[in-house]
Amino acid sequence: APVYLSFPHFHKADPKLLEAVEGLKPDPALHETYFKIQP
């Protein structure tokens, strides 16, 4: 089954998504995610 992921508040998403939903304020300091993978 397909899986769709997004950052909170559509951080790094197409700006059209932000225009379609009120109250979204993406902030990289708060909404960016990273994975640390160690061997």
Residue 39 confidence (pLDDT) = 85
At 8, the pLDDT band (50, 70, 90 cuts) reads confident
Residue 34 confidence (pLDDT) = 79
CB distance 31 to 8 below 8 Å: yes
Q: What ranges do the domains of the chain cover? A: 1-33
Rounded Cα–Cα distance for residues 8 and 24 (Å): 9
Residue 18 confidence (pLDDT) = 83
Global pTM exceeds 0.75:
no
The tens digit of pLDDT for each residue in 18-39 reads 888 898 888 888 887 778 889 8
Q: How far apart are the first and last CA of the chain?
A: 28
At 6, the pLDDT band (50, 70, 90 cuts) reads confident
